[in-house]
Amino acid sequence: MHRYEYHWPELALDPTIVRLLTEAERNRGAWKTSSEEAPTSLPSMASGARILSTLASNAIEGIRTTPDRGIAVAEGTVTPHTHDEREIAGYSDALALVQENYRAMEVSDNLILQLHRDLYRRSGDSLGGHFKDSDNIIAEVATDRKAFTRFKPVSASRTPDAVKELCHAWSETRQSGIISPLLLCGAFVLDFTCIHPFLDGNGRMSRILTQLLLLKDGYDAVLYSPIEAIIERRRQEYYDALQASSVGWHENISDLKPFLCFHLETVIECQREALRQIREQNDTAASKTQKVIAFMASRQAPFRKKDILNALPDISEITVKRTLAEARRDGLIALLGAGKSSAYVWKGER
């Protein structure tokens, strides 16, 4: 019987694991700094990432609709028509619940059942929110198109206790701080997948839980870059890593490294993409600020805010107001008069 124990001194010292953990932590610090420099960019990034996360996670399981419909269903702007669209909408609901409430969520068997219920609420399937009531298998189709059993998960009778033990072990280990939260997250997801607690929806649930655990430990780049899209793009590597790390799982002799490395690589790729996007946003914002400053420096006579807006129609009023305030603070401009008759004069170097 598998034991849910998360203490592997040898993995903590593995050079590949150490390198990946170091990069992930460095990226987390860089993301914190970069995101604080462009807070106005975050809502649109988060909205786009949630849509892509929803579509990618469902696509991994063969749940699809047309691109335009998929985006609209994930956004919640249209009523889902087909069974696949209802499943996409359910995933979007469950993911939104996690992303908006993760701080208050306690990782438990009840939460997992609740999220699974929400996953299937739109589709009307009666299996939502219930652990499997019969044993299942993880099958694979060979090149000759014959299916074979790749892995036999935990039995249906044992599943409720197994999920409770999994959640308890995660909580206890997290509180102890003996291993990296990133490794603990990867190990949890692997164990959850090997338990395979539901008759359907295990893969999508594993990815929702991945986001939940990462968010609870401060790896919030997943809010702004869809980690599910990375897994979809590397789908075969994902399956290969699961296969490699599930051999000997029941006997507690499995090699966790393949799946943990894959997990860390996807987190890092997610962080890199979030950083790339936010830096592009920062560069764009800086460029617009420089345009406003250049305009002000070129003016010999006093000027008003509306003069800047008329001269630079591609720059928003918010950006102009912010730049004016910063320029006054830095002594680059001075305010003349008050009210509607007020104007600015350039005081800096030309």
Averaged pLDDT of the chain: 92
Average pLDDT of the residues in 10-31: 95
Which one is predicted more confidently, 338 or 161?
161
* pLDDT exceeds cutoff 80 at 63: yes
- Is 329 marked within a binding site? no
Tell me if domain 8-280 and domain 299-346 are identical in fold.
no
Structure tokens at 211: 């986001």
Measure the CA–CA gap between 274 and 70, rounded to whole angstroms: 22
**Separation in Å, CA 158 to CA 48, 132, 134, 136, 190:** 39, 10, 11, 12, 17
pLDDT of 141 reads: 67
202 in a known ligand binding site: yes
Q: Is 45 annotated as a binding residue?
A: no
- Quote the CA–CA distance of 187 and 47 in Å, as a whole number: 29
Is 123 among the annotated ligand-binding positions?
Answer: no
DSSP code, position 303: B
Residues tagged active-site: 196
Topology annotation, domain 299-346: Arc Repressor Mutant, subunit A (1.10.10)
Domain 8-280 CATH superfamily:
Fido-like domain (1.10.3290.10)
For 218-229, what is each residue's pLDDT tens digit?
999 999 999 999
Is 19 annotated in some ligand binding site? no
Tell whether the model's pLDDT for residue 350 goes beyond 80. Answer: no
136 marked as binding residue: no
**Whether the predicted pLDDT of 72 surpasses 70:** yes
CB-CB contact of 217 with 181 (8 Å): yes
In the chain, where the domains are located: 8-280, 299-346
Q: How far is CA 36 from CA 23, 86, 99, 282, in A?
A: 20, 36, 19, 10
pLDDT of residue 10: 85
pTM to 2 decimals? 0.82
The C-alpha atoms of residue 162 and residue 250 are separated, in whole angstroms, by 12
Residues 6+ apart with CB under 8 A from 2: 154, 162, 191, 194, 249, 250, 251, 252
